[in-house]
Amino acid sequence: MQNLPVTHDAFFRALMDEPGVAAALLREHLPAEVAALLAPDAPELLDAHFVAAHLRHSQADRLYKARALTGGEVYIYVLLEHKSAPDPEVGVQLLGYLAEIWRRLDRQRLEQDGAVGSERPPIVPLVIYHGAREWTVPLSFGETVAADPALRPYLPDFTYSLLDLGQVADDQLSSQRVARGGLRVLKYSHRPDGQGAAVLAAVDDLLGSGILVSAFIYINWAYDAVDRQAIEGALAQAPDEQREAVMSVMAQEREQGRIEGRAEGRVEGEVKGQAKGKAETLLRLLNRRFHSVSEDYRTQVLAANTEQLDTWIDAVLDAECIESVFGRPTAH
């Protein structure tokens, strides 16, 4: 069976990749003055590698290129913020993502015509948030920096657009059926009181789409107030093939849960062993790529968990300096 989403990030990526969803979401949820500048053509999804591995963390993102009616191109960076409460660090994260995208666009231009001018294309950030608490973090990065007014001209500032799903009525999430259904599924992942109705509505919106199976596998993973019987009942009107696909994955998960329960006593030792092996691999890669590793970095590597080590190992492959592997600014 194909790999299907069982995390917020994976479901969001699957939703955005459904035909017509990204175009509808950008048209309806970017600021009106921005949407009015965009040509009616479908936005182009760009390669995920525009954002370096060490900046990606665990969040889902999508980068699109759209044609502007006034000429030129507009890039739209869409980020899913999946924490249950507003994250005050999101502005800092976006600053790093935007800088990395411009850096890679500069490299493309250097390869194409050997020069980088001052006319970099605009990048509009859109954050989609589906946490339980209303978003209260300032949308202007500058508002999060405490500085004397005389210093502000010398500090970075930008504004990001926000779609807080919890503050949008279900029927206003989108006029596009699949986009509306998928956003509704995300919206109620942190809202147990509305999950039963959301499951039934998801079938109505997503029936016949390529994302129905993915949505219900995600619901089974994320919805605490919905059990197997509720999912089976909601899927009664779905085609047999899609209903059986969901039931099969749910059965596999129950069996996997039993296996994991029996193996729980072994897991901790295995994880420690995996982390040690990954740490040794990363140190070898760093030594080969950059010829030396400081004691500070060595200590970080040996103390890291497997997830962090995987991120750093991925970052080594295209990092220009050891600082960028660990997400630190490069000295110039």
Task: Kindly report, residue by residue over 227-254, the tens digit of the pLDDT.
Answer: 888 888 888 888 888 888 888 888 877 6
Judged against a pLDDT cut of 80, whether residue 56 lies above it is answered with no
Residue 251 lies inside a defined structural domain of this protein: no
318 to 49, 50, 86, 285, 313: CA distances (angstroms): 10, 11, 32, 12, 10
Judged against a pLDDT cut of 50, whether residue 331 lies above it is answered with no
**Do both 20 and 105 map to the same domain?**
yes
* Dist. CA 261–CA 24, nearest whole Å: 43
What does DSSP assign to residue 330? P
Cβ-contact 159, 218 below 8 angstroms: no
**Do both 285 and 331 map to the same domain?**
yes
Residue 249 lies inside a defined structural domain of this protein: no
Residue 319 lies inside a defined structural domain of this protein: yes
pLDDT of amino acid 265: 47
pLDDT of amino acid 1: 42
pLDDT of amino acid 2: 46
**Do both 183 and 293 map to the same domain?**
no
* Dist. CA 121–CA 301, nearest whole Å: 37
- Six-digit token string for 299: 């200590």
Structural domain boundaries, residue 226: 8-238
**Do both 77 and 222 map to the same domain?**
yes
Give the strand pairing for 123-129 and 161-164.
parallel
**Do both 120 and 40 map to the same domain?**
yes
First to last CA, the chain: 49
**Do both 228 and 322 map to the same domain?**
no
Is residue 20 classed as helix, strand or coil in its secondary structure? coil
pLDDT of amino acid 285: 85
pLDDT of amino acid 115: 73
Cβ-contact 133, 169 below 8 angstroms: no
Residue 248 lies inside a defined structural domain of this protein: no
Cβ-contact 59, 311 below 8 angstroms: no
pLDDT tens-digit map of 279-317? 888 888 888 788 888 888 888 888 888 888 888 888 877
pLDDT of amino acid 139: 97
Residues near 45 by beta carbon (within 8 Å), at least 6 away in sequence:
16, 17, 22, 62, 63, 64
Q: What is the mean pLDDT of residues 181-192?
A: 95
**Do both 183 and 290 map to the same domain?**
no
Q: What share of the chain is helix, strand, coil (3-state, %, to 5)?
A: 60, 10, 30
* Dist. CA 69–CA 24, nearest whole Å: 18
* Out of 20-24, 181-185, 228-232, 273-277, least confident range: 273-277
**Do both 283 and 330 map to the same domain?**
yes
Could you tell me the pLDDT band of residue 75, with boundaries at 50, 70 and 90? very high
Domain end position, chosen among 196, 222, 238: 238
Cβ-contact 14, 214 below 8 angstroms: yes
Residue 204 lies inside a defined structural domain of this protein: yes
- Six-digit token string for 262: 């029996």
pLDDT tens-digit map of 81-121? 888 889 999 999 999 999 999 998 898 888 887 677 678 99
Phi, psi at residue 327, to the nearest 5°?
A: 75, 20
Q: What is the mean pLDDT of residues 49-73?
A: 75
**Do both 203 and 274 map to the same domain?**
no
**Do both 185 and 294 map to the same domain?**
no
- Count of positions (residues) in the chain: 332
Residue 250 lies inside a defined structural domain of this protein: no
Q: Which residues pair with 67 in a beta bridge?
A: 73
Domain end position, chosen among 238, 254, 281: 238
Give the global pTM.
Answer: 0.74
**Do both 48 and 162 map to the same domain?**
yes
**Do both 89 and 225 map to the same domain?**
yes
pLDDT of amino acid 149: 93
- Residue in the structure block whose two tokens are 């965009």: 38
91 to 61, 125, 128, 142, 271: CA distances (angstroms): 15, 10, 13, 9, 33
More confidently predicted of 54 and 309: 309
Count: domains in the chain: 2
Residue 258 lies inside a defined structural domain of this protein: no
Residue 3 lies inside a defined structural domain of this protein: no
